[in-house]
Structure 1
Amino acid sequence: MSALTLERPASAQSARLMDLEAQFGARNYKPLDVVLTRGAGVHVWDVDGRRYLDCLSAYSAVNQGHCHPKILEAMVAQAGRLTLTSRAFRNDQLAPFYEELCALTNSHKALPMNSGAEAVESALKVARKWGYEVKGIADDQAEIIVCAGNFHGRTLSIVGFSTDPVSRQGFGPFTPGFKVVPFGDAAALEAAITPDTAAFLVEPIQGEAGVIMPPAGYLKAARDLCTKHRVLLILDEIQTGLGRTGKLLAEEHEGVEADLTLLGKALSGGFYPVSAVLSNAEAMSVLKPGEHGSTFGGNPLACAVARAALKVLMEEGLVENAARVGARLQASLAAIASPAVKEVRGRGLLLAVELHEEAGPARRLCEALRGRGLLCKETHDHTVRIAPPLVLTEAQADWIAEQFDAELRAL
């Protein structure tokens, strides 16, 4: 029997909170109807005390698990000392954060920001300025190449080069200077490069598009082309970075290094908005005092939290765990015998189950799984993204596969 038939109606408390949200909140999201109040590790609990295994991790922001005690301890301790100075003054957490982050990622420089979208916008500014001051592109002629199906955030400039009509419709006019090529097509990338090309911005795996994997060797080919044509390679690792794919950075799967690497989400373990642009010395050298900044970027609370989050990732072996448990979960999902499944794909603990259109919308599957105590979220109508915290055990991975098996067979 499908879990949909077992679903209990929302309690009075849940219903009241959802009604208040609908009454007073902007309706720019369509969440599942579950009201969460507590989290620990891979689990979250709703206001009625029901426990769920979280298979979204706040879009990979909670790689270290919900409310990790060591990150919590660092946050509370720093919050009692100093939270914000702005960059008008120095603080004692920023320099160690720079040192530890750059050493861990083999970077020369780091630019701290708050949200992932801010990191993307910062990288676009750096790339254009580098194009003018270092490459010698004529003023206001710099081009940045992006990929169809991309997701880099929600600012006006970013949605302007999105190919998702839902993201773009009604928000124009858009920032010029961007060129779109097919994802995974190195030949198309080379054909699009001109003397005015400053950078190529790409996700190693397209997460929001449905965990779309590029052909093997694509990132290496992109790196070689960017080097050949003196173009900055910008890798958006906001979702794929920090262990999610079974490597610290997804670029490591093909042995490449970007000129600019973007991190966010799990950089704070879900406690605080922290993002960063990592760079080689040449690209970041174009920024001078007063040309870019953020009141909260690099604040002592953010830096202390991020330092603890990075330490947890490495000391607890979460990167290696993502590789091992992710391979097990992917194999189990791929073995499910259901005609509803079109494809299972991904890497590490960034996975997706795509359904055939005839099976109906993926939202229905997510709602059924919720009834079994498993929280997933659909993307692009027919795909369910699976990205649990990297603390997931093999037994928990097997349980996830069992729940999918039961509901997919019902479909």
Structure 2
Amino acid sequence: MSFDCNRLDRIGGWMDSYVARNRFAGCSVLVAQAGKEVYFNATGLRDVETGKPFERDTVARIYSMTKPITSVAIMMLAERGLFHLDAPLSEFIPAFGDMRCLVQGATSIDQTEACQAPTLHHLLTHTSGLSYPFNPGVLPKAMEDHDILFRADQGSLAKMTDRLAALPLAFQPGSRWEYSVSIDVLGRVVEVVSGKTLEQFFIDEILGPLGMDETRFSVPDGTQERFAALYTPLAGSAYAMNEAKPAEPTLRCVDRPGKSPFLNAQMHSGGGGLVGTIDDYLKFTEMLRTGGAGLISPKTLDFMMRNHLPGDIASMGPASFAEQPMEGMGFGLGGAVVLNPGRVRVPSSVGDFSWGGMASTFFWVDPVLDLSVVFFTQLAPSSSYPARPELKTLIHGAMT
């Protein structure tokens, strides 16, 4: 199938409407089919205060779009025979050795029972029993109280992981799906197994070979002037989704480019720490689409982009936030997998592999239509507006 250029042009008007309504300060979208760019557009501002435009080389926080990269790193190490996915996390991080989890219906953090340590596969699929502070529940509240979020300014990955291990799990590993800091913990596993910092492993094994030279945990030297501001439409924290209250103005800056902790990140957050450009991220999605680019086996990628849950995400009873719909959507290793487009209620191909980030960035790889699509903006939380299903509908509607 090919694209109708006139229909593709609708995307620009849609993007402009988001900027005109002060939903996004600025945004960009890049579409490639069979490795050839078929559409790019950028509009609005990367920094409202200075009036700097949102451009193709804008450096943005990709947050949870870091997760697929960390998941690829784990599978690269698994390919080398260094571990198997059913290995318990405690083999790599001893602090997870004597695990406890909350009893069903627990109302306080001390209502626990003994449980197994989660496996690497549990972590990769968000069935580990870990959580995020912005989810509902007892464990998320404890994580919030202990300030466990793996932010750029929160010190070393090793220390934060050990702090997390002191808390119980939210449930028995494997029994539920809950979006979590699991991939941050896997970032620490990469460090333990490889003997390198997570960033150095990324540079040596993934970012460097793919030419993703402007994607790092800290804003790369020479790109600071291109780093975008981060905005929220909420009155309080951009991540306090349990107590989300709209505010005026709808674009309130919560991380200024010149003062951001991402200028010199202490934490290497494998779950949400990278910043980079849209062209850099397309190189990663194209690696997924084309079968590994020599970095990882095509068979391993095929394994990663299959559904690893018994059914869809919704069937595992999640109460958590997620970067994607849950009905009709399975989960692979590092991203969501479309099982039934009708249940997802968004035009899709069976097998679409995708994920997004807290600042409303998004990507998907469509193996049926041979597509890679990357969307960049800087608005948190990503649940603020339905931009992702709208964009996907626009792109499918442009195909003939």
Q: TM-score, normalised by structure 2?
A: 0.29
CA radius of gyration, larger in: 1
Q: TM-score, normalised by structure 1?
A: 0.28
Q: Higher helix fraction: Structure 1 or Structure 2? A: 1
